[in-house]
Structure 1
Amino acid sequence: MQLRNKYLEALGIPDFLYSKIELNKSPEEPIKLLIIEVGDQDSFCLKGESQNLLIKMLESIGFSIKNAQLVSLEKNLIDEYIKNNPSEVVMVMGSSNESNKSALFLMHHPRDILKNPTLKRESWEILKKVKQCLK
């Protein structure tokens, strides 16, 4: 995996197009936090305001973005991706999906929070629940 990433980096392929995290982790070592965004408009996988806000959001619960896996997917691919990449907690941002999975949190995307600051309170309540699950 590391050699492949070195080649992609040497070719100038932006790192958000490939994962620097080993995706085939064993079930005994799940990803701690998987953060999925629906759609790629104002993606938090790229440097910018959305990523900066996501970093602040995670830091507010004592978690580093470096310990999370960020993924941008189409809505119809989310369930399959989660199934193939086990994680302790999953946050899906920017989706109106409903879920009954206990460690899956649906919340507003940072781009939406930036456009509508009234969403901060609701997002903070969800982040507090995420924090409890990450303990």
Structure 2
Amino acid sequence: MLKEFREFALRGNVVDLAVGIIIGAAFTGIVQSLVNDIIMPPVGVLMGGIDFSNYFLVLQSGEAPASLAAAKEAGVPVLGYGKFINALINFAIVAWALFFVVRQMNRLRRRFEEPETPKAPAAPPRQEVLLEEIRDLLKSRG
């Protein structure tokens, strides 16, 4: 069983998958920074100073906290739907970026896998040419 596990773990696809997961995790951090630090501030300004990450809904009656952080610190149950909106935007950007990466990889793969342009068929051997001429002469006589 240990031998089978070693073969499985060292198979090329498993190693490729592990590398992909590590790169994906690093890419996710970059995208989160892109969304939180570069995209969302201008979107918030365009929408009148809105900060999606601070949108929440208090689930119990009483005085509403001023921010999501204050609500969590006070132990007030809240739905942080603004962070969910940010997560959706993160997902859309990651999906879009991965779409372009996969699209380019498929184009490169097709370019390398395409067969070379077909060459003109090789001329038949001299014997076949002579036999075809004989056949055609016999057809024309008969």
TM-score, scaled relative to structure 2: 0.20
Q: Larger % of strand: which?
A: 1
Higher helix content, 1 or 2 = 2
Higher RCO structure (Cα 8 Å, ≥6 apart): 1
Whose Rg is larger?
2
